Amino acid sequence: MRARNLMILLILSISVGINTAAAHPVAYAGSYSLMAWNSKEMTDWMFTHSFTSKNSLSIRHQRILTDEGERTFYFPHVNFLLKRWNEFNSQANVYLSVGHGGEKINSSFKDTSFLAVEADWETRKYYVSAREEILIASRDSSKNIYQTRVRAGFAPYLGGFDELNSWFILQFEKSNSSMDEYTITPLIRFFYKDVLIETGVNQKGDSQFNFMVHF
């Protein structure tokens, strides 16, 4: 009964946390993907085309709620798969993303640069990843936003290629844009073929819902 209640709580719980939509920034050659991450403090939408299995181009919209109010960014960025290790029972990746766009302030746009580095390692049972993302405001370096995200997860069962797969993930985030600098979020992830969804709740009781589709 307690385990079932915990499962229900995880599924229904809501979290707020700074999060980014950039998991799997590069997919298979010729693919398109749409990723959407939604929480009280952040909305992050990204549309990506992978030209090859090693690089892709994303167009992104981010809305971040900071201590100074809501900030909105639009920018394209290029993503590179710097290195991949394919083994029979695991895969590890290192990605780099760079971009330049603008922050919408009133009716004008201020130059903003973007830089991110991400690494992950996974098996069919376990998963860890770490990501550092920086939004560099050209107008004032004190306005830069730094976001760190670390994840660890496990699969309660090994789903087949054409089956529903499920994961439990614990996410730790740190951002300088919020007074509550640290956020810890347990998430549950489901994916089936080309569709992935995640939902979770953070330690403050705020919700998060993430969605990704490849096509």
Partner 1 sequence: MKKLILAISLLSSLNTSLAYAGEKINVTVKGMVCAFCSQGITKKLKALPEVAIVKVNLDEYLVTIETKDGTTLNDESITKTLADAGYSVAKISR
Interface positions with partner 1 (CB under 8 A): 24, 26-31, 52-53, 81, 84, 86-91, 122-124, 158-163, 165, 191, 193-194, 196, 214
Task: Provide the minimum distance between the beta carbon of 50 and partner 1 in the complex, in angstroms, as a whole number.
Answer: 9
Give 50 or 175: the residue with its C-beta nearer to partner 1.
Answer: 50
Give 150 or 213: the residue with its C-beta nearer to partner 1.
Answer: 213
Give 110 or 125: the residue with its C-beta nearer to partner 1.
Answer: 125
Give 51 or 182: the residue with its C-beta nearer to partner 1.
Answer: 51
Task: Provide the minimum distance between the beta carbon of 31 and partner 1 in the complex, in angstroms, as a whole number.
Answer: 6
63 within 8 A of 71, measured Cβ to Cβ = yes
Give 61 or 214: the residue with its C-beta nearer to partner 1.
Answer: 214
Report the first-to-last Cα separation within the chain, whole angstroms: 39
Q: In angstroms, how far apart are the furthest CA atoms of the chain?
A: 55
Task: Provide the minimum distance between the beta carbon of 53 and partner 1 in the complex, in angstroms, as a whole number.
Answer: 4
DSSP for the chain, please give it.
Answer: -HHHHHHHHHHH--------S-SSSS-STT-EEEEEEEESSEEEEEEEEESSSSEEEEEEEEEEEETTEEEEEEEEEEEEEEEEEE-SS-EEEEEEEEEEEEEEETTEEEEEEEEEEEEEEE-SSEEEEEEEEEEEETT-GGG-EEEEEEEEEE-SS---TTS-EEEEEEEEEEETTSSS-EEEEEEEEEEETTEEEEEEE-TTS-EEEEEEEE-
Task: Provide the minimum distance between the beta carbon of 151 and partner 1 in the complex, in angstroms, as a whole number.
Answer: 14
Task: Provide the minimum distance between the beta carbon of 30 and partner 1 in the complex, in angstroms, as a whole number.
Answer: 8
Give 163 or 181: the residue with its C-beta nearer to partner 1.
Answer: 163
Task: Provide the minimum distance between the beta carbon of 172 and partner 1 in the complex, in angstroms, as a whole number.
Answer: 21
Token pair recorded at residue 37:
């991450």
